[in-house]
Amino acid sequence: MNSLNSTGRRLTLDPDKSYRTTMRRTADTPIELVRSAPTDPYANALDPDLAKKIAMIEAEERKTKMICPACGAVSTDMRLTCHNCGVYFDGHTGSSDVRVAALASTGGLSLEEQEKLARRSYLSRRALAKLVDVSIVASFIAFQYIVYFAVARSLIAFPSAAYLAFNFFFWGMPVLSVLTILSYNAWFESSQVQATPGKLMFGLYAEDLNGQLLRSPALVGKSLLAALPLFAVVAVYAFFYNVRLQYGLSLDANSASVLALTAFTCLVTSLTMHIFVGKEDSRRTVLDVIAGMRVCERK
């Protein structure tokens, strides 16, 4: 047995000779390449471009992408089995035959590429939905202030009513704005629609980890936590307004530094709350984890 293994011979073929071989077309070999290869196995004439033609055919075959019928992984190598799960590319796996990626609905993308593309699309849709919802909330608050100023102007002729309207501006309007911010997500996402107008526009909906409707208290808490950085900036600015700006005094260097540092810190905090954490398939932000919810795509 050892003598047989030790007497192995290596055979080197001449690329300029056909060796009476015939190039046959397969499912992945273009017909042009087959026609350009030697087709007569009994011809004695040598094709001087045979080596180049064989190299070109092999290069085309290496470009072939095969999709595994079991796991969906794409192989670009000339393999008999899938590099991901080990299933043979021979149609004996039971479900379906091996498909060429160019003809598949995936567009030739591997499983990893499909996941990256789906995640990028999901992140874009969530960002656009958030932008739409913020715009709607800002529009609601702006409309409230427009109505307030219109009513306050009409009450100028009545001193007592004008005084009440003036005081309402400092405590009533901020409270009304906060209630609008906190109730927006809670009202829409706890309904049967399970989505704010922004999420509904981009095919998203919210649910708890058991796939059930969300409860309003959890959504109110999430909105309050998300709005805390904004409230902090407004509170610091209101403090400096009461002690300096309303008296015509400008902010000194220390006050301006405190206000700028507060705004920067609150911005970083707000961005941190929207970072995606956990496994990639969960697609949950820090706020989603705290509220015990997830945002899914509609099928």
Whether the predicted pLDDT of 30 surpasses 70 = no
What is the percent of the chain with per-residue pLDDT over 90, rounded to a whole number? 19
The residues near 62 (Cβ < 8 Å, ≥ 6 apart) are 76, 77, 78
Whether the predicted pLDDT of 222 surpasses 80 = yes
| pLDDT score, position 180 | 92
Taking only the tens place, the pLDDT of each residue in 5-28 is 445 455 555 555 544 444 444 545
| pLDDT score, position 138 | 94
- First-to-last CA distance in the chain? 62
* CA dist., res. 253 & res. 240, Å (int): 13
Global pTM value: 0.61
Whether the predicted pLDDT of 258 surpasses 60 = yes
pLDDT band at 93 (very low <50, low <70, confident <90, very high): very low
Taken as a whole, the chain contains a residue count of 299
| pLDDT score, position 131 | 94
- pLDDT (mean) for 227-239: 88
- pLDDT (mean) for 50-78: 66
What is the percent of the chain with per-residue pLDDT over 70, rounded to a whole number? 67
* CA dist., res. 293 & res. 236, Å (int): 32
Domain ranges in the chain? 115-297
Longest CA–CA span in the chain (Å) reads: 117
Whether the predicted pLDDT of 277 surpasses 90 = no
Contact call for residues 74 and 108 (beta carbons, < 8 A): yes
pLDDT band at 184 (very low <50, low <70, confident <90, very high): very high
Q: How far, in Å, are 73, 103, 105, 268 from residue 113 at the CA level?
A: 10, 17, 14, 31
User: Six-digit token pair at 104?
Assistant: 């598949």
Q: Which of 61-65, 110-114, 205-209, 241-245 has the lowest mean pLDDT?
A: 61-65
- pLDDT (mean) for 248-273: 87
**3 state DSSP class of 73:** coil
